Amino acid sequence: MMMKASYDLPKIPSFSNGLPVYFLTGKKFIYQTLFCAYSLVKHSKEIFQFILVDDGSFDDKDIVHLQIKMPHAKLVLKEEIAQNLQKILPVKKFPFLHHKRKVYPHIKKLTDIHTLQDNPYKIVLDSDMLFWKEPEEIIEWLKKPNNSIYMLDCEESYGYSRELMFQLCGHQVPELMNVGAIGFSSKIINWEILEKWGSTLEQKEGTSYYLEQALTAMLIAGQHSEILNKKDYIVNPSPEQIKNTEGILHHYVDLSKEGYFKTAWKKIH
């Protein structure tokens, strides 16, 4: 029902001079991306530039669909991404990151988005989220980006021990960081170091679904970060919070997926 309803959403405006907002998205997630972007526009007075980064699964039909629903959004397709990676992350020098791109799409939120040579500061939103009020803190950061900004998780999910992460990055990693809404400067990424961190984490403590979240926490460790209030930016909202549309933003992970698919999107639509 939500997929079908995404075709009926009003066109979502995007402006070349708008505040830049990035999504990594693909064939399976376009409908969620459309709802998230629409909820942001619906509840905000600001104008945005939406940059949609192909996870490699777009076909011609998907591209046409997006061009109809988000006519002025910037689409970054796999050909452009491949050129960026070849130039900035050649396979021979970065075998780990290239391997992870094939088996673990989440890493593309780092490799494919932060190799784009457009805005140094980038805020990346997950598609499985909906805005219920204007996100003033995020907007202020976008207008004057500085250091980093992130949401708080409902429980810490890095997949690796804090001790090992500290050994590698030299700083205590932030507590409870969630990458549903995450902003920082691409310039803080040293790709050679990120390659080493990732391969060392896996060598010592195995693979983890949360690798990208762990690496991001290590990247912004030691920075002064703006931490979004967990009462307003809610990860894994309860059925009651979903029913009452509490707070500003909901990130529908874990058990809250049911409320997202059955109830929440209908309140936006």
Token pair 């997202």 in the structure block, residue? 260
Token pair 């959403």 in the structure block, residue? 9
Which stretches within 26-73 are classed as H helix?
30-42, 60-69
Domains, the chain: 14-264 (3.90.550.10)
Model pLDDT, residue 9: 97
Distances (CA, A) of 94 to 97, 168, 239, 253: 6, 18, 43, 31
Model pLDDT, residue 60: 97
Tokens representing residue 15 in the block? 């402006």
- Measured CA to CA, the distance from residue 112 to residue 190 in angstroms comes to 14
Model pLDDT, residue 268: 92
The DSSP element (H or E) to which 122 belongs, if any, is strand 121-125
Model pLDDT, residue 269: 82
Model pLDDT, residue 220: 97
**Which segments in the chain show pLDDT lower than 70?**
none
CA-wise closest residue to 245 among 259, 264, 269:
264
Neighbours of 62 (CB within 10 A): 16
Tell me if residue 154 falls in helix, strand or coil. Answer: coil
Tokens representing residue 236 in the block? 């894994």
What is the phi/psi pair of residue 32, to 5°? -70, -40
- Measured CA to CA, the distance from residue 182 to residue 145 in angstroms comes to 12
Provide the CA 6 distance to its chain's centre, in angstroms.
20
Model pLDDT, residue 31: 98
Asked whether the beta carbons of 53 and 81 are under 8 A apart, the reply is yes
Asked whether the beta carbons of 180 and 151 are under 8 A apart, the reply is yes
pTM flag (> 0.95): yes
The pLDDT tens digits for 196-229 are 999 999 999 999 999 999 999 999 999 999 999 9
